[in-house]
Amino acid sequence: MATNCRTAVSPFAYSVPPTGLVLLTGTQTLCKMFKAAVNSSLCPVVKDLRVFAPRCLSLSAGLCARAPRPKPRDVPQIAGLERVSYAARMHYVPGLAKPELPPWERGWKDPRQYRSPKPEQMELYKEKPCYIYNQRTNPLEGVRQALWLTKAKLVEGLPAQILSLAEDPANQIEDQDVRVQNAIRHARFWDTTERRPSRERFCPSLLHNLLHLCGGLQATHPGLARRMLADKYSLAASWSRGEDLFQVRGQNGLLLNCMSPLPALAGQEEIQSTADHVLETFYPISPTIDLQCTHVYEQKNSIGFREDYPYPHAHTLYLMEAGNTPPLYPEQLRAKMIMFAFGNALARARVLYGNESKVLEKPIVVQSVATNGRLFQFVVFQLNTTELESDSGVKNLAWVDADQPLYDFAKIRPLIKKKVVRVPAGLSGYQPDTFKKFLALYLHGAA
Amino acid sequence: MALSSLCSALRALTVSSISTRTATSQVFNGSVLNTALLSVWPVNCSLPLSRGFLTTATLGQNRTLWKQTDKYTIRPIGVKKTGGRDFTGKIRRRGIGGGHKQRYRMIDFQRLRHELGKEGQEIVEKVVEVRYDPCRSADIALVAGGNRKRWIIATENMQTGDLIKTSSAIGRMAVLANEGDAHPLGALPVGTLINNLELYPGKGAQYIRAAGTCGILLRKVNGTAIVQLPSKHQVQVLETCMATVGKVSNVDHNKRIIGKAGRNRWLGIRPSSGQWKRKGGWAGRKIRPLPPMKSFVNLPSISAKA
């Protein structure tokens, strides 16, 4: 019937047929319309598929495996000469313009569907960008970049006071080696019913076991009781170097807090001698590479705790590299340690002395220990000055002891090559010096 | 939302409101519904304006959506293999399929891409890492300069720690071409081996990117340069097109021996049909004259001058 043919063919025919054509008989109309539809360039599905027509209205965009079309040109808006749109018709009509519809508002707040405003419209937007070092930063140049950012001089090895603490027999735990090896075996073998605990499991387990061992010395060292371990605290410290603003932000790891500050490790002569040291630059790479550059920021300086916290001084920061989000090489891990130790020290300095830049009479010392379950990195950072804008003047000091293995192998199955056991199963290659240094850093300030 | 607009549109077709409208074209003596359908066609401003609604939906195939990103990143991106199939699902190129999974590293072929705020200056970058790329025969190098890192095609003797230069200056004297540096063709001395050649200035390198290949800069002719490609074809491009100096890395790529059918399958090459036709004409060495030089320079035509 003529009526049916009209509605049936409407998806394909884009022109309203003139009245004269419609008065033909039904089948003839149907054939003509279908042929017109088929022969038109707007219906490539029926035609040879190897020819890609520019418009493919019968196939949706998701089915075509082509790059998206370039956007059409901007039509100039002339008042009084706007194009007629199909808004009033309420459906698409070929030949009429797409109407300018207002952006749809939900009307109520759906927490799962939230579009954040553009950075320029946010309240904390500033013209000058800020480079933020957060816990996920993976700096390309590693320790050199951290030293430039913190205006610090690198000293290999731990300072003499801490090394003497390590060697002192009065500071040892009884059966120290046996107990440490048992702690390692617990973390690496005995912690789960699975054959092999994952790194995310044994790394924090080992660290907590070692801290528990060190905490057992409270009987002989009463100063150890005036400390507190805190996890998941957020640090914020901001400073400027040259023309750029920098910030250290984020939840980094376990922090051991103390009631009294650590004594300064380097004397005044050593501090003044750092003024001659020239900071190492790495042209052509800029020191701000890999830092998060943002225009929406707040220059915050906060130690992560309230002012009336009974343990205000940061003593040691324990970082764990358990292979998750994102994995860091030892070089980058040491850079992270330096940056966050500096951040803690700077936040403390801002609390004590305000935002003014000056050389500190009483330098602030913060220690840091990082581990990936086997290798330990020790960093002691001494903040001598908050004058960080220029590259000259007194520098801060960073003692770095890198890649100290606590043990060589902790294998579930022995390594056998050519029927000879090369590495036995269980714990092997235990190094007692590493735990002595760990203990020395723990006891520093209380022994 | 689609439902509400559908309802509001259909509410306009209620029986009670038909009598208020005048149908301009009463072509068919159909039912009341047909009349209602037709009478909506003339403009009726009393209807609420609402967005049109779709009665179709996309299938949501992520066939090429994995590569529709504008933001550059050095992180490798997972690739969806096509198996030689096109958007209809039929095989368009035979012999492709399977193979080891690959991740695509976005290569920056436009060497002369400045950072924001540093346009016009010479770019110096340090090579951080040279590594194998599963998506191409050449090796790729991660270079870092200023505040950004990017992947580029490595040249033959590129090592970690090298400094490479990219400059857009064309002086009267030709530049001493160091391997790995990128200069416009007008600044390079005649006879240098080049790779990653741009055909149009600013478009990005399109030619001479495969392992071990190099082109030769033959002549420089008033504002254009003529380059011989690895296939011995000659090409004329503007002298402001950038090119990198040296041969592309992985020079012994064509000397490798596949060794077994399995290695070809690891590369994603499926076996060919093996049917031999005597008169195929594809095998054997062909000796024929070079085609005329292709010019990518829009010189004003003779008729335009006249």
pLDDT in tens, B225-267: 999 999 999 999 999 999 999 999 999 999 999 999 999 999 9
- Measured CA to CA, the distance from residue B135 to residue B138 in angstroms comes to 9
The shortest C-alpha distance from A15 to chain B (Å) reads 14
Q: Is the Cβ–Cβ distance between B227 and B237 less than 8 Å?
A: yes
- Measured CA to CA, the distance from residue B185 to residue B173 in angstroms comes to 12
Query: What ipTM was reported for this prediction?
Result: 0.76
Strand, helix or coil at A21? helix
Residues of chain B positioned with their CB less than 8 A from the CB of A96: none
At residue A138 the predicted structure's pLDDT band, cuts being 50, 70 and 90, is very high
pLDDT tens for A94-103 read 999 888 888 8
Partners of A366 in the β-ladder: A381
* Mean pLDDT for all residues in chain A: 85
Reading phi first (left if > 0) and then psi (alpha if -120 to 50, else beta), residue B264 is in alpha
Query: Does B57 sit within 8 Å of A140, measured CB to CB?
Result: no
Query: Does A288 sit within 8 Å of B147, measured CB to CB?
Result: yes
At what angle are helices A330-353 and A143-150 packed, to 10 degrees? 10
pLDDT of residue B299: 67
Segment B35-53 shows an average pLDDT of 54
Q: Which of A175-189, B49-63, B264-278 has the highest mean pLDDT?
A: A175-189
| DSSP string across chain B | -HHHHHHHHHHTT-HHHHTTS--S-------HHHHHHHHTSS--TTSPP-----S-------TTGGG---S--SS-EE----TTB-TTSSBSSTTB------EE--B---TT-PPTT-TTSPEEEEEEEEEE-TTSSSEEEEEEEBTEEEEEE-BTT--TT-EEEE-----SSPP---TT-EEEGGGSPTT-EEESEESSTTS-EEES-STT--EEEEEEETTEEEEE-TTS-EEEEETTSEEEES-BS-GGGGG----SHHHHHHTTBPPP-----TT---SS----PPPPPEE-S-PPPHHHH-
Compute the Cα dihedral for A167, A173, A174, A179 and give only its sign.
negative
pLDDT tens for B215-228 read 999 999 988 999 99
State the alpha helices, DSSP H only, in A40-187. 143-150, 160-167, 176-185
Segment A75-97 shows an average pLDDT of 87
Residues of chain B positioned with their CB less than 8 A from the CB of A91: 52
Determine the residue type at B292.
P
pLDDT higher than threshold 60 for residue B104: yes
Residues of chain A positioned with their CB less than 8 A from the CB of B91: none
Query: Does A91 sit within 8 Å of B52, measured CB to CB?
Result: yes
pLDDT tens for A256-296 read 999 999 999 989 999 999 999 999 998 899 999 999 999 99
Share of chain A above pLDDT 90, in %: 64
Segment A233-237 shows an average pLDDT of 94
Determine the residue type at B284.
G
Picking from B34, B128, B146, the nearest residue to A3 by CB comes out as B34
Which candidate in A285, A329, A331 is best for mutational testing of the B interface (most B CBs within 10 A)? Answer: A285
Residues of chain B positioned with their CB less than 8 A from the CB of A65: 61, 63-64, 82, 86-87
- Measured CA to CA, the distance from residue B295 to residue A138 in angstroms comes to 47
Segment A128-136 shows an average pLDDT of 94
pLDDT of residue B90: 87
The shortest C-alpha distance from A140 to chain B (Å) reads 9
Q: Is the Cβ–Cβ distance between A323 and A197 less than 8 Å?
A: no
Q: Which of A18-32, B113-127, B274-288 has the highest mean pLDDT?
A: B113-127
The angle subtended at Cα A38 by Cα A32 and Cα A40, nearest 5°, is: 100
At residue A443 the predicted structure's pLDDT band, cuts being 50, 70 and 90, is very high
pLDDT of residue B182: 96
Q: Tokens 């076991």 — which residue?
A: A209
User: Which residues lie closer than 8 Å to B88 by C-beta, 6 or more apart?
Assistant: A49
pLDDT of residue B118: 86
| DSSP string across A331-381 | HHHHHHHHHHHHHHHHHHHHHHHTT---EEEEEEEEEEEEESSSEEEEEEE
Which whole-number Å values give the CA distances from B118 to A198, B124, B145, B168, B187, in the listed order?
Answer: 46, 12, 12, 13, 21
Strand, helix or coil at A215? helix
Strand, helix or coil at A328? coil
Chains A, B: CB pairs < 8 Å: 82
Q: Name every residue in B having a CB less than 8 A away from some CB of A.
A: 1, 9, 25, 27-28, 30, 34, 40-41, 43-45, 47, 49-52, 56-61, 63-64, 68, 82, 86-88, 124-126, 128, 144-149, 163
pLDDT of residue B207: 95
Stated pTM of the model: 0.79
* Mean pLDDT for all residues in chain B: 83
At residue B136 the predicted structure's pLDDT band, cuts being 50, 70 and 90, is very high
Query: Does B59 sit within 8 Å of A62, measured CB to CB?
Result: yes
At what angle are helices A2-9 and A26-39 packed, to 10 degrees? 10
Q: Which of A56-60, A382-386, B11-15 has the highest mean pLDDT?
A: A382-386
Strand, helix or coil at A251? strand
Residues of chain B positioned with their CB less than 8 A from the CB of A24: none
At residue A172 the predicted structure's pLDDT band, cuts being 50, 70 and 90, is confident
Query: Does B87 sit within 8 Å of A3, measured CB to CB?
Result: no
Q: With residue A397 as reference, give the H or E element that holds it.
A: strand A396-405
Reading phi first (left if > 0) and then psi (alpha if -120 to 50, else beta), residue A157 is in left
Residues of chain B positioned with their CB less than 8 A from the CB of A53: none
- Measured CA to CA, the distance from residue B147 to residue A99 in angstroms comes to 43
